[in-house]
A and B are shown apart, each in its own frame.
Chain A
Amino acid sequence: MKIHIKNGRLIDPKNKIDAQCDIYIAAGKIVGIGNKPVDFAANQTIDATDLVVSPGFIDLSARLREPGSEYNATLVSELNAAAAGGVTGLACTPDTQPVLDEPGLVEMLKYRAKQLNLAHVYPLGALTRQLEGKLLTEMCKLTEAGCVGFSQADHAIIDTQVLWRACEYASTFGFTLFLRAEDDYLAKNGVAHDGEIASRLGLKGIPAAAEGLAIASILRIARETNTKIHLCRLSTAEGVNLVREAKKQGVQVTADVSAQHLHLTDFDIGYFNAHAHIKPPLRSMRDKDALCQGLKDGTIDAICSDHTPVNDDAKLLPFAESEAGATGLELLLPLALKWADNQKLDIAEAIAKITYQPAKILGINSGHLSIGSDADIAIFNPEQTWKVTPDQLKSQGKNTPFLGLEMAGKVQYTLLHGQITYQDESN
Chain B
Amino acid sequence: MINPQLDSNGNLKHLLTIEGLPKRILNQILDTAETFVGVAERDIKKVPLLRGKTVCNIFFENSTRTRTTFEIAAKRLSADVINLNVGTSSQSKGETILDTVDNLIAMHADMFVVRHNQSGAAHFIAQHVPDNISVINAGDGRHAHPTQGLLDVFTIRRYKPDMHNLRVALVGDVLHSRVARSEIHALTTLGVPEVRVIAPKTLLPTDVEKLGVQVFHDMKAGLKDVDVIMMLRLQNERMNGAMLPSAQEYFKTFGLTQEKLQLAKPDAIVMHPGPMNRGVEIDSCVADGNQSVILPQVTYGIAVRMAVMAILGGGNSSGQAGSGA
Which residues of A are at the interface with B, using a C-beta cutoff of 8 A? 194-196, 198-205, 207, 270-272, 313, 316-321
B140 at the interface (CB under 8 A from A): yes
B1 at the interface (CB under 8 A from A): yes
B310 at the interface (CB under 8 A from A): no
Known: A318-B97, A321-B118. A272 touches B124 (CB 8 A): yes
Task: Decide if the interface of chain A is mainly helix, strand, loop or mixed.
Answer: loop
How distant is A313 from chain B, measured CB to nearest CB, in Å?
Answer: 7
How distant is B174 from chain A, measured CB to nearest CB, in Å?
Answer: 9
B181 at the interface (CB under 8 A from A): yes
A318 touches B211 (CB 8 A): no
Complex Cα distance A205/B116, Å?
19
CB neighbours (8 Å) of B119 from chain A are 201-203, 272, 318-320
B142 at the interface (CB under 8 A from A): yes
Complex Cα distance A199/B174, Å?
10
21 A-B Cβ contacts within 8 A? A195-B207, A196-B211, A198-B206, A199-B205, A199-B206, A199-B207, A200-B19, A200-B181, A202-B120, A202-B141, A202-B144, A202-B178, A207-B206, A270-B1, A271-B123, A272-B119, A272-B124, A313-B96, A318-B120, A319-B120, A320-B120
Residue from B96, B97, B142, B210 in contact with A202 in the complex, judged by beta carbons closer than 8 Å: B142
CB neighbours (8 Å) of A272 from chain B are 119-120, 123-124
Complex Cα distance A194/B175, Å?
12
B143 touches A201 (CB 8 A): yes
CB neighbours (8 Å) of B142 from chain A are 202-204
Contacting A at CB under 8 A, from B123-159, are 123-124, 128, 140-144
Q: Which residue of B lies closest to A320 (CB)?
A: B118
B295 at the interface (CB under 8 A from A): no
Residue from A203, A204, A313, A318 in contact with B124 in the complex, judged by beta carbons closer than 8 Å: A318
Q: Which residue of A lies closest to B175 (CB)?
A: A199
Residue among B98, B124, B181, B211 facing the most chain A CB atoms (10 A cut-off): B124
The A-B contact count (CB < 8 A) is 73
B207 touches A196 (CB 8 A): yes
Number of residues on chain B facing chain A (CB within 8 A): 27
Residue from A195, A316, A319 in contact with B206 in the complex, judged by beta carbons closer than 8 Å: A195
A318 touches B206 (CB 8 A): no
CB neighbours (8 Å) of A271 from chain B are 1, 4, 120, 123
B208 at the interface (CB under 8 A from A): yes
Complex Cα distance A272/B142, Å?
13
B186 at the interface (CB under 8 A from A): no
B211 touches A200 (CB 8 A): yes
CB neighbours (8 Å) of B270 from chain A are none
CB neighbours (8 Å) of A203 from chain B are 119-120, 141-143
Contacting A at CB under 8 A, from B61-101, are 96-98
B58 at the interface (CB under 8 A from A): no
Closest A-B pairs by Cβ, 6 of them: A202-B143, A272-B120, A202-B142, A199-B205, A318-B118, A202-B119
Complex Cα distance A321/B96, Å?
11
Known: A202-B140, A203-B119, A318-B124. 20 other contacts (CB 8 A): A196-B206, A198-B206, A199-B205, A199-B206, A202-B181, A203-B143, A205-B206, A271-B1, A271-B4, A271-B123, A272-B120, A313-B96, A316-B128, A317-B97, A318-B97, A318-B116, A318-B121, A319-B124, A320-B118, A320-B141
